[in-house]
């Protein structure tokens, strides 16, 4: 027998305010055609004034607990992935803990767009190591707050939102037929720190800063690094890409997602896409897409789900889950 974390439930939360490419045409020098052709994005949700990352996280986590059918008081660990915390400290996860009434401990994880995969890995290891029994894993962002709304090369790409899953420890058989998290694989390469960053921070400028990105270079790294970490996940579990029922990728750019699916020989109908309606919601994009595909019945109990993401750092990783 092997200790595993199974996924008991999931939930999503999007701010009500929808901003289309046509809305952005009125704000910066861009066109719907350019944005759709280069990224696949048509609209995104943006948080209202006063709507914080913790509000989105609490919304998604509440729905995930309802879906799992368990009380908040049975959760003893929150791992919240975010690049846009309410405050520099304390961790936004502690605010979520207070609002929900969960027990144990709560922490934030910072791995930008790879944040959800990192958070899932941390929570899974906490459960398998015996330090937690039930965990809430959340990806939540108000990315719009760190965008330079005069920089058309970045401001059209991102959106706000949150998604959450509930994990619970159980004794599995130890093979790939087990439900839950089968594996997580994480990587980073700090030599690429300057490819995607914010030009501020508490220690460097005492400001929050705005997103700066070398888009083409990120693009160049993305498909190679993602296909590497996906192959690593499949090999570790003795699986082939044909065994995958659903790919739930980080939703940065339609072209990156299509490129990876082609490389893996995965048909487009096995790929969950939300980038057209959500834009890039960084750490929230995977749990948002996963929650949507579970809610509409595409992902069914027992399906094998591949998650993968790359983000600033560079950081990247994959997770294989049997729902």
Of these residues, 10, 113, 185, 278, which one is catalytic?
113
Q: 191 exposed, middle or buried (CB, 10 Å; 0-12, 13-18, 19+)?
A: exposed
Find the binder of ligand ACO among 96, 112, 164, 244 (CB under 6 A). Answer: 112
Q: How far is the CB of 142 from ligand ACO (least distance, A)?
A: 14
- Residue 99 near residue 244, CB atoms below 8 Å: no
Quickly tell me which residue has 């003893």 as its tokens.
76
Q: What is the DSSP string of 158-184?
A: B-EEEEEEEEEEEEE-SSTTSSEEEEE
Q: Is 209 in the site for ligand ACO (CB under 6 A)?
A: no
Token pair in block for residue 191: 């030599």
Question: How far, CA to CA in Å, does 17 sit from each of 59, 160, 182?
Answer: 15, 10, 36
Q: Which stretch binds ligand ACO (CB under 6 A): 150-158, 200-208, 268-276, 289-297?
A: 150-158
Q: How far is the CB of 220 from ligand ACO (least distance, A)?
A: 9
> Dihedral, CA atoms, 312, 194, 258, 32, nearest 10 degrees?
100
Using DSSP bridges, classify how beta strands 43-45 and 18-20 pair: parallel, antiparallel or unpaired: antiparallel
Q: Which stretch binds ligand ACO (CB under 6 A): 126-134, 164-172, 197-205, 250-258?
A: 250-258
Q: Is 226 in the site for ligand ACO (CB under 6 A)?
A: no
Q: Which helix (H) or strand (E) holds 107?
A: strand 105-109
Q: How far is the CB of 62 from ligand ACO (least distance, A)?
A: 26
Q: Which stretch binds ligand ACO (CB under 6 A): 3-11, 33-41, 182-190, 271-279?
A: 33-41
Enzyme catalytic residues: 113, 250, 280
Which residues of the shown chain bind ligand ACO in the complex (CB under 6 A)?
Answer: 30, 34-35, 38-39, 112-113, 152-153, 156, 196, 213, 215-216, 218-219, 252-253, 256, 280, 282, 311-312
């Amino acid at each position: 027998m092997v200790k595993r974390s199974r996924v008991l439930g999931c939930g999503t939360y999007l701010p009500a305010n929808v901003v289309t490419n046509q809305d952005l045409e009125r704000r910066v020098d861009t066109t719907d055609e350019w944005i759709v052709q280069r990224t696949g994005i048509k609209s995104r949700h943006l948080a209202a004034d006063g709507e914080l990352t913790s509000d989105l996280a609490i919304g998604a986590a509440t729905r995930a607990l309802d879906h799992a059918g368990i009380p908040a008081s049975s959760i003893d660990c929150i791992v919240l992935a975010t690049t846009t915390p309410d405050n520099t400290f304390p961790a936004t996860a502690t605010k979520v803990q207070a609002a929900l009434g969960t027990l144990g401990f709560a922490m934030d994880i910072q791995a930008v767009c790879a944040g959800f995969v990192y958070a899932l890995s941390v929570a899974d290891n906490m459960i398998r190591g015996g330090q937690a029994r039930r965990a809430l894993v959340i990806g939540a962002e108000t990315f719009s707050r760190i965008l330079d709304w005069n920089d058309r090369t970045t401001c059209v790409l991102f959106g706000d939102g949150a998604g959450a899953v509930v994990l619970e420890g159980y004794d599995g058989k130890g093979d790939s037929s087990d439900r839950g998290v089968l594996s997580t694989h994480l990587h980073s390469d700090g030599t690429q720190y300057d490819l995607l960053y914010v030009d501020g921070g508490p220690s460097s400028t005492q400001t929050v800063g705005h997103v700066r990105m070398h888009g083409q270079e990120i693009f160049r790294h993305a498909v190679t690094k993602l296909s590497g970490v996906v192959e690593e996940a499949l090999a570790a579990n003795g699986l082939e890409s044909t065994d995958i029922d659903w790919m739930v990728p980080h939703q940065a750019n339609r072209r990156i997602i299509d490129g990876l699916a082609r490389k893996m020989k995965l048909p487009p109908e096995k790929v969950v896409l939300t980038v057209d309606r959500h834009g890039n919601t960084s750490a929230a994009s995977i749990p948002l897409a996963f929650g949507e595909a579970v809610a509409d019945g595409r992902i069914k109990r027992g399906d094998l789900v591949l998650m993968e993401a790359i983000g600033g750092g560079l950081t990247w990783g994959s997770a294989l889950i049997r729902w």
